Amino acid sequence: MKGSAVTTRRTVRAIYLTFLTLLLGLLAGTAPATAADDQVKYYEVTAADQSPDGLARIAERLLGEPARAEEIYRLNAGRRQRDGLALLDTRRLRAQWLLVLPWDAAGDGVRMGPLPAGSAGSCPPTGGGPGCVSPLPAPRPRSDWAGERITTAEAWARTQGEGVMVAVVDSGVDAASPQLRGRVALGADVTSGTAPGNLDRLGSGTGMAGIIAGAGGTPGIAPAATILPLRVAGDVPQADPAQVAIAIEIAVTAGARVIALGAFADPSNTLVAAAARAATAHDVVVVVPAANAGAGATTLTDGLLRVGGAGPEGQRVAEYQPEAVDVTAPGIDVMVLTPAGAEPRSRSGSEYAVAFVAGTAALVRAAYPDLDAAAVTHRIKVTADGASAGVPDRDRGWGTIDPDAAVGAVVPGEQPTRPAAKTGGTGRLALSATAGVVTAALAGSVFLIRRRLRNRT
């Protein structure tokens, strides 16, 4: 107990330093630093990687899919290595070569920073030298089936999520992304306690934020909402449950009306579950990934939505526990934003389904400001495409979300509410003021956490 208290005190102190730094930055009129343009992820080839299937093994280990060896090849074909050779179409690797990796690579050996000198030169055009090949064209993105399936035109006639803050508890969010510019508050990096949350080295948080509030070619569900990035996963794809719980508390204190937990959070963990219950008790909608088979069960509470990811043919992202899904949303081959302004990529995961539902919750909260969190989650469930059956399905819950119906449908038994008037603009002009308020609120959360620590000890 004593060791736990000491650890928590250190975490609180680190968060306090984060907020103090951010507040001073705002007072000085400076923006937090973002990643430099020359920052890349790369990997140094080892002797064990020199086998004929070495590239596929690297892809499986660092990207989760052997088939993504093609992406690594396209990023490196035609680039001269330090020994003067280059990756050929035979895919054979040499020890000490440096391979540029896709933005979402993670695992042992992955490095982040400028590519070391002597390994970034381009080869001459085809035929210009031994060991060189011309770079291949980038693969064409898959069709955005999710954007076609989840429609928002009718909902947007009333609201686009104005005035609603959505906290994304994941790997941070790249605030410099063109599609998110002006929509991301400073947030906090809970992993370090010394930085804002608007940087992302793993990519999943940026992908979630784009689905919730992105603009541009494929707009998010609620493009006028504000994203509060709370980083709980740094350079490695894992999160400390205690830090996830603190991030939830910070989101509540900062005024978030919706909290979206990414795949790094475990809603069944006692600390995370307690923080989620406290959030819903403070009238915050909490959206979490559904529990996989073999994992701990997520505690049910009003105001919480458990989300399962699905594909275009109804296939599931994971083998979820029976009766563990409240609603489903696109989670397979979903086009998502990537950090550093890179082209959108097709990705799969329960966290992206969570983002679709969190965006829908933002629309409902903006359209019906008098509805409490429990009523918001009820409205989303009973307007899903499978709700006509009257009872949730064992595997799909109430079915796939329908943002248009969630905003526009008449829900029997719902208490009369005051619909919000449609407001113009995208909410960008208010963000600078919001960022200052959020920073002050985050600083205030330190006091609350300290008080709770004192009560526990």
How much of the chain is helix, strand and coil, in % rounded to 5? 35, 15, 50
**Quick check: is 123 in a domain?**
no
Of the candidates 320, 342, 270, the one whose C-alpha atom is nearest the C-alpha of residue 299 is 270
How far is 38 from 45, CA to CA, in rounded Å?
21
Cβ–Cβ under 8 Å, residues 283 and 372: yes
Is 149 buried (19+), middle (13-18) or exposed (0-12) by CB count in 10 A?
A: middle
How far apart, in Å, are the Cα atoms of 144 and each of 70, 338, 352?
21, 15, 13
State the chain's maximal CA–CA distance in angstroms: 75
- Based on the structure, what is the number of domains in the chain? 2
Query: So what's the pLDDT on residue 118?
Result: 56
CB contact set of 246 (below 8 Å; sequence gap of 6+)? 11, 15, 190, 275, 449
24 plus 44 within the same structural domain:
no
With CA atoms as reference, report the closest residue to 349 among 289, 276, 303.
289
H/E element, 405: helix 403-408
124 is a domain residue: no
Q: Which two tokens stand for residue 216?
A: 């541009």
Rg over CA atoms, the chain: 23
Residue 118 lies in a domain: no
Work out the angle between the directed axes of helices 2-27 and 431-456 (0-180°, nearest 10).
160
| Domain co-membership, 103 together with 205 | no
Q: Which residues on adjacent β-strands are paired with residue 252?
A: none
Measured between alpha carbons, how far is 362 from 216 in angstroms, rounded to an integer? 19
Query: Helix (H) and strand (E) counts for the chain?
Result: 12, 12
- Residue ending a domain, among 113, 132, 155, is 113
Residue 432 falls inside a structural domain: yes
Q: Same structural domain for residues 307 and 329? A: yes
- The answer to whether residue 120 sits within a structural domain is no
Mention every residue, 6+ apart, whose C-beta is less than 8 A from residue 220.
209, 210, 211, 212, 213, 214, 359
Residues 382 and 409 occupy one common structural domain:
yes
Distance (Å, rounded) from C-alpha 26 to C-alpha 333?
39
Is the Cβ–Cβ distance between 85 and 44 less than 8 Å? no
Select from 452, 225, 453, 262 the least CA-distant residue to 360.
225
Judge if 216 and 361 occupy the same domain: yes
In a domain, 134, yes or no: no
* Residue 136 placed within a domain: no
Same domain, 179 and 210: yes
Task: For the full predicted model, state whether its pTM sits above 0.85.
Answer: no
Domain with residue 392: its CATH number is: 3.40.50.200
Indicate if 74 and 222 belong to the same structural domain. Answer: no
- The boundaries of the domain holding residue 108 are 40-113
Do both 70 and 161 map to the same domain? no
User: Is 3 exposed, middle or buried, given 0-12, 13-18 or 19+ CB atoms closer than 10 A?
Assistant: exposed
- Contacting residues for 4 by C-beta, under 8 A, at least 6 apart: none
Domain boundary residue among 113, 136, 162? Answer: 113
pLDDT in tens, the chain (457 residues): 455 554 555 555 555 545 544 443 443 333 343 433 456 788 999 988 988 788 989 989 998 888 788 788 878 876 778 787 878 766 789 898 999 888 778 888 888 777 776 555 544 443 334 444 333 333 334 468 898 899 999 999 999 999 999 999 999 999 988 889 889 999 999 998 878 998 898 889 999 999 999 987 678 999 999 999 999 998 778 899 999 999 999 999 999 999 999 999 999 999 999 999 999 999 999 999 999 877 888 878 899 999 999 999 888 888 899 999 999 999 998 989 888 766 788 888 999 999 999 999 999 999 999 999 999 999 999 999 987 777 888 889 999 999 999 999 999 888 755 555 554 433 333 343 344 444 434 444 444 444 444 444 3
Q: Decide: helix, strand or coil at residue 456.
A: helix
If asked whether residues 235 and 191 sit together in one domain, one would say yes
The Cα–Cα gap between 91 and 22 comes to 46
The kind and range of the H/E element at 361 are helix 350-367
Do the beta carbons of residue 241 and residue 272 sit within 8 Å?
yes
Q: Which of 39, 43, 88, 75 is nearest to 62 (CA)?
A: 43
- pLDDT for residue 143: 61
Q: Contact 453/9 with Cβ under 8 angstroms? A: yes
Residue type, 150: I
Pair (398, 327) in one structural domain: yes
Q: Give helix 69-76 / helix 54-63 axis angle, nearest 10°.
A: 110
Helix H or strand E encompassing 131: none
**CB burial of residue 254 (10 Å; 0-12, 13-18, 19+):** buried
> Are the C-beta atoms of 220 and 249 separated by less than 8 Å?
no
Listed residues 68, 94, 113: the one ending a domain:
113
Residue 397 shares a structural domain with residue 441: yes
Tell me how far apart the alpha carbons of residues 65 and 96 are, in angstroms, rounded to a whole number: 23
Structure tokens at 282: 């403070």
The reply to whether 239 falls in a domain is yes
Three-point CA angle 349, 191, 324, nearest 5°: 35
pLDDT recorded at residue 87? 80
The reply to whether 281 and 248 lie within a common domain is yes
